[in-house]
Every structure is written in structure tokens, then in C-alpha cells.
Structure 1
């Protein structure tokens, strides 16, 4: 019996040595929520792309892209020709030149400026400004979506870490039970079944820890993908969760339809469509412009020309009026289609408002329900802990069997992991509600 006991101990030592080598890594460095958000804003590829789009829109709304500034061009040229010429003058004389050379030089600076174009550039400039505002809203929506993704993964890491701590505690309890059962067996107080049951539970708890650690590593890599960090630089998450004051949440909900980023984008699109109608109407009006130029020309001519050479410099200016009286009806159709597009944008806004109101109502219900479940699960943990403590005392006194004690331990384990899941489900429900009400970027986590 002693040899069997020694073999059992050796086997268990080898098993736990292997499990420890595989399962336990160096403690991961804590990544706070604030640090995670900062890294996300700096590194996430989707956010970087959105920020570049904002920069492009900002460049487009510049006065340099408005059409209000004049255009200034410089021109220069030289022409050279050689040919055989025969010239007959009015007095009847004839002059023949073989290989007559003619050279001409010219250079000029030309200025063009549009005084009036039917207000087309005015409304185009306003449209560019509104599109810049729209691009910022689109970037905000991207940031909100990525932040929601970030916290979904971040809190998944935190949940698994808490579950891992629970499982490790369960393993310590099972180990202590196995040692106790072995001593009792050695002194003939229990049969071998108690020892075997404890060893089976140790293997089960160890397997659960191994699987959970692998899940944790996978979740940490998922977090690094969102943060665009080195995949194997695994970080630990902060398991502390605080909820926004319920009164503040109610205030956010009441103003949700005004602050929702999708609604704001719809309003921006309506403004842009209205400007596009006015811009289309400008094609029906005349265009008035100013032109000016300063130039220099020089020519050298053969003997057959009246002049041997000529040089001129001078300034020219003028005004132009252009009015496209009829373009086949394209401008009229353009105005009609722009009006229809504006009408469609208003329909889209109304539909979106209804959907957002529904989403906010559903998110509020989910949030309140998740909070209630979390409260119930907290109470359930207290009850399960009391039941386990009572069962543990009775187990030590031999009043309950190892099977009954294990069941109490599993009940506590399930209650703790369920509470952990409920906590982060409630927090994610809150984050979703904050996103819908347009407050996700205005609160601290």
C-alpha cells in the first residue's frame, strides 16, 4: 500500500509540474482602461483611416479649393521656320529668297477672375464646410464603434481573469481535500474512494484552468488586434467596474435623439442636399468674369516681309459674360433630381429617428435587466458562499460526504463565474446605451 501511495504522489507531482510549466506564465502587466483607449486612438487602423478622411475634408474646405481666388498663368513660346519665298510687290518687283528664316518669341502672364457665377461657388464652399463637419461625425462614429469593440474584448479579458482566479481557488480547495483524504485513508478513517474522488476533481480543476488560460491568451491577442499592438505582448485587464449614475443615464436618454451620431449625420446630409439644390440652380444664371494679361512678343523676318523685325509689350484687360441660355434641359433636370434627393434624405432621417428611438428603448431595457440580473447574481454568490462554508465545516466534521461537499463547491464556482459574466454583460449594456445616446466619448470608464 505504501508503494502504491508513493507512486500516486509521484504521478501527481509530475502532473502538476507539467501543468504549472504550461499553464502559468509570468504575470501580465496591467493595461488600464485609460491606457487602452489612448492606445486605440493612436494605433487602431480604422481610426487612423477615419482621421485621414477628416484631414482630406479639411483640406477641401480651404479657401484655396473654393474657386474664390483668381487664376494666374504664365505662357511662353518660340517658333522657327525656314522656307523658300517669292514676294511680288505693288511696284511689280519680285523678290526671291531661298532658305528664308522666320523666328517669333512670346511670353505673357494671364489673369482670370470670376466675379459672379450664379452663386455656385458660394454654395459649393458651404457644401465643402458641411462635408467637413460630416466627416468629423463619421470619424466619431468610427471611434465609437471601435471603442465598443475595444471594451467588448477588454472586459472579456477581465472576465476570464476573474474566472481563472475562481478556478485556481477551487483547485487549491481540491488539493487540500486530496491531502486530507489521503491522511484519513492512511489512518483508516475513509476508504480509497475518497482519495480517488479528490484526485479526479483535481484533474478536472486543472483541466479547467488550462483551458481557461488558453482562452485568456486568445482574448489578450484579440485585444492587441483592436489596439494594433504586438500580438504576443499580452496584458492584464482591470477587473474593477463602475457604473454611471442612474440619474445621469436618464438624462442621457432624454437627450439621446439629439446627440446620436447617426441622427446628426442625417441632419448634416439634409443641409448638404439643400446647398446642392442651390448650387444646381446657379447653372441657370450667367457667369461674369474679368481677364487681364501682360505680354511680350518679338519677331525676326526675312527680306520678303515688310518688316525686318518687331517687338511689342503691353497690358490687356477685359470683361466676359457667359450665359448658357439652353443646355438641352440638363440643368433643369439636375435641379429636379437634387430636390428629390433632398426629399429622400428627409425620409431617411425620419426612418432613422424611429429606429434610434427603438434601439435606445431596447438598450435601456437590456441595461436595466442586466443590472437586475447582476444584483441577483451577487446575492446568489453570497448565498452559495455561505452554503459552501457551512458544507466545508460539516465536511471536516464528517457530517457530509465528499460528493456533497464537491457539489457545494461547484455551486459556488458556478455562482461566481455567472456573477462575473453578469457584471460585464451589464457594463457592456451600459456602454451600448451610452453609444446610442451619443455620450460614449464623454464618460470615464
Structure 2
């Protein structure tokens, strides 16, 4: 299906109090919107920023998960070379104690012989050599010393920073697509200028041929016309090559089918806005501000390493048979860990992160200065483009009048064919300059909108 563009990208700029902030996006041609959306969807750099934002979200979840209990199931089997038992003296002591207790229970005298018909129990092993264990451990952090809290805040600001950086990258991709689109419009406009010049040459060739037949001109005049046509053909070939290259660039930027791109017919017209809207903070600035905040919280997280941490520890053994005499079946405890000195690592990391925050601050201030400079440059470029447009329009009027005058003189044998061709070249040059002034004007407006943070697409 043939894609046509009914209006120019920036034919009506945002006007204070008259046009809402969404009007620029509304004035984009549907086909151009499709190209921009496809370019944003297939941009690898934009996708990387999206993945980094998702990664920052995972980092926040990791910070929150510090306060969730950690439950671990354990299972093990161990075989010792032998059972762990008491030494012989301890065994004899335990047996003698057992006999005394039995005698006392039977009201027998202390020195009376122990009855032979009463069995005695051997002293149990401290640990059997076959050990099978199955247990569960619970670790639950109650207070992280604000490390997790600061890590969570750092993650949120990092996510915001990455998202704003991704939006800035989207602006760059959209600017490339729009600029390539405008270049394609300039090529098409140039081709129309050449076609008009070709029609003039065909008309001149007709008069030269008639003049030669009537003996009023020499074949040299016809050769000059043919040379001019060959020069126009060379320009047509150049513009055809330029269009092919621009189609390839658009294909690389958007992934759109080349056949569909060849059907595009963008046009160039002048833009005459009344007033530009207020400036908004650029996404690049927002990204650096959020990155600065993220590093500030990261530095706080490093400094909070020396604050005591509180945690609960629990343990439960599912199998009692293989426990040693000294092993408990379960226990629960609350512990405090207080890092008093870690070799200055936390302090140095905090200093390192603070320096990184200062780096983002310097980058932000530099970016603001560059934005102010680009804003002034865009405004000056726009004013120059308007002046160039007015000059080109006057030059076209003069060139058309001059060409018509010389053409009449030539037909009345009062001017040479060289003068006609020179006048035609001047007219062609003036028309080219007008289209270039439209192109420059639109570039300046796009740059101005981008500098003000008002670029919508």
C-alpha cells in the first residue's frame, strides 16, 4: 500500500496557550510515526537501557529480600572410623555409680556385694560412627543497620536514571529517523526542481532545432543544450543514488521493508511558528540527577556498614537417633553483629562512591551548559534559516523574471543560448537554495524543541 504524507512534520509548532503539548506528535504523519516506533522497538541501545532498568528493579527486590527469612533444609550422612565413647576410667566410674544407685534403691548396705541377677546398662556412645542427619535452619534479619534500606533507595534512583537515559536515547533515535526523512524529502524536492529544469531545456531544444532549420542558429547551440541535459542527467543520477542511500539508512534504523520505504513521498515547506513554549528539563539532565542521588544513597549504605545488625537464628533436627549426647534437637537465638573495624574498606568505598556522585554532578552541570549553548545555537540557526528562506524566495522571483526576459530576447535573436542556460542555472540554483532553507529551518526547529525538552513523537 502506498504511503503518502499529507502534512509536514512541523508545519504547526507548539504555540503557547493555543496548541497543547501533544500537538507536535499529532502533526507527525502516520507513516513517520510508524517508522519512529519501529526504530525505537528495534534499537539495540534502547533495548539495553530497558534491560538495565529491569535489572535495577531486580536489585530493589534483592534489597527487600534481606528482611525475608531464609529457610534451608540440610541432609547428610557421615561414617566415622569408630564410635566415639568414654575412656575406660570414665566407663568404670559410670558403672560403679550405677551399682551404688541400684543398691540405694534396694536399701542395700554400701559395702554389700552387688546382686548378680540385676543387669547393668553399658555407658552410651558419645557419638555412633554412622551419622544420618536431617535438619532445617532459619535465618531472619531483623535490622540491617540501614544498609538494605539505603540499597533499596539507591536502586530506585538507579532505575529512574536508566529510564531517563533510555528516553534520551529514544530522542536520539527519533532525531536520526526524522533527519533522514527530511533528507529524503530534500532529495525528492531536488528531483522535482531538476524535472522542471528538464522541461525548460526540452522547450529550449525545440526552439534551437527550429532556429537551426531556419538558419538562425548553429548546431553548436544544440550541442550546448545537449550538454546541459547531460549535466541534468548526472544530477538526476546523483539524487537517485542519494535516495537509495537514504532508503538504506531508514531500513537500518527502522527495519522497514525497502519497497515500502521507496513509496514514501515526504515534502518540504516553510515553518513559521509564533512563539515557542517554555523549556522543560531534558531527559539527560534527569538521568544524571537520578544517578547522583543513587550514588549518594550508595555512599550512605557503605557508611552504615558499622551500625550493628540484628538477626534471628533457628535450627531443628528431624532425626534424633544419630545425634550425639551433646547435640540439641532444636534451638532459637537472637544475635547482634557489630563490625568495629574492617580495614578501612567501608570508609574507602564510601569515599569512592562520593567521588562518583561528584562526577555525576560535574557531568550534569556540563550538560546544562551544553544545552544552553545548543538552545542559543538552534535559535540563531532558526532565525538564519528564516532569513535564507526569504532571500531564496526573492532570488526565485528575480531568477524567473530574468529567465523569462532572456528567453524572450533569445527567441527574438537578442540573446545567446549561453545566456539562456546561465539564467536557467540561476533559477535552478535559487529553487535548490529554497528547498535547502526549508530543510535547515526544520532542522533548527527540531534542534530547538530537543534543546527545550519539548520533542514529542
Instruction: Identify whether the pair has TM-score above 0.5, normalized to the shorter chain.
Output: yes
Matched, 1:356 2:371: yes
Question: Deviation of residue 102 (structure 1)?
Answer: 4.2
Counterparts in 2 of 1:291-330, with a 5 A limit? 291-299=313-321, 315-330=330-345
* 1:100-156 C-alpha deviation (Å, 9 max, x unpaired): x94322222222111112111001000000000000111011111122222222211
* Partner SS for 1:61: helix
Say which structure is richer in strand: 1
Counterparts in 2 of 1:194-343, with a 5 A limit? 194-230=221-257, 234-235=261-262, 236-241=264-269, 243=271, 245-247=273-275, 249=276, 251-252=277-278, 255-256=279-280, 259-299=281-321, 315-343=330-358
> Which one is further off, 155-164 or 236-245?
236-245
Find the aligned partners of 1:300 and 1:61 in 2 and give their Cα distance: 43
- 1:125 corresponds to which residue? 152
Find the aligned partners of 1:436 and 1:270 in 2 and give their Cα distance: 22
- 2:71 corresponds to which residue? 72
Q: TM-score w.r.t. structure 2 length? A: 0.77
Find the aligned partners of 1:183 and 1:269 in 2 and give their Cα distance: 77
Question: Deviation of residue 233 (structure 1)?
Answer: 5.9
Find the aligned partners of 1:34 and 1:244 in 2 and give their Cα distance: 22
- 2:143 corresponds to which residue? 116
Matched, 1:421 2:436: yes
* 1:362-397 C-alpha deviation (Å, 9 max, x unpaired): 222222222222232233223323333343344444
1:175–1:244 distance in 2 versus 1, CA, 3 Å: closer
> Which one is further off, 33-42 or 59-68?
59-68
Find the aligned partners of 1:414 and 1:128 in 2 and give their Cα distance: 58
Question: Deviation of residue 280 (structure 1)?
Answer: 1.8
Find the aligned partners of 1:402 and 1:429 in 2 and give their Cα distance: 40
- From 411, 416, 423, the equivalent of 2:426 is 411
- From 361, 384, 402, the equivalent of 1:387 is 402
Q: Does the 8 A contact of 1:103 with 1:300 survive in 2?
A: yes
Aligned length in residues: 398
Q: Does the 8 A contact of 1:118 with 1:283 survive in 2?
A: yes
- 1:157 corresponds to which residue? 184
Matched, 1:40 2:34: no
* Partner SS for 2:342: coil
Question: Higher Cα Rg: structure 1 or 2?
Answer: 2
1:207–1:329 distance in 2 versus 1, CA, 3 Å: closer
Find the aligned partners of 2:339 and 2:187 in 1 and give their Cα distance: 70
1:313–1:30 distance in 2 versus 1, CA, 3 Å: farther
1:363–1:123 distance in 2 versus 1, CA, 3 Å: same
Find the aligned partners of 1:221 and 1:361 in 2 and give their Cα distance: 33
* 1:312-361 C-alpha deviation (Å, 9 max, x unpaired): 99553211100011223333333444444444443443343333222222
Find the aligned partners of 2:273 and 2:67 in 1 and give their Cα distance: 51
Q: Does the 8 A contact of 2:291 with 2:360 survive in 1?
A: yes
Find the aligned partners of 2:321 and 2:408 in 1 and give their Cα distance: 117
Find the aligned partners of 1:321 and 1:280 in 2 and give their Cα distance: 19
1:295–1:241 distance in 2 versus 1, CA, 3 Å: farther
- 1:186 corresponds to which residue? 213
Q: Does the 8 A contact of 1:61 with 1:132 survive in 2?
A: no
Structure 1 runs of 4+ with >6 Å offset? 84-87
Question: Deviation of residue 264 (structure 1)?
Answer: 1.7
* Partner SS for 1:190: coil
- 1:141 corresponds to which residue? 168
Find the aligned partners of 1:323 and 1:403 in 2 and give their Cα distance: 95
Find the aligned partners of 2:210 and 2:200 in 1 and give their Cα distance: 15
Q: TM-score w.r.t. structure 1 length? A: 0.79
* 1:195-233 C-alpha deviation (Å, 9 max, x unpaired): 222222222211221222112111221221222345676
Higher relative contact order (CA 8 A, sep 6+): 2
1:350–1:192 distance in 2 versus 1, CA, 3 Å: closer
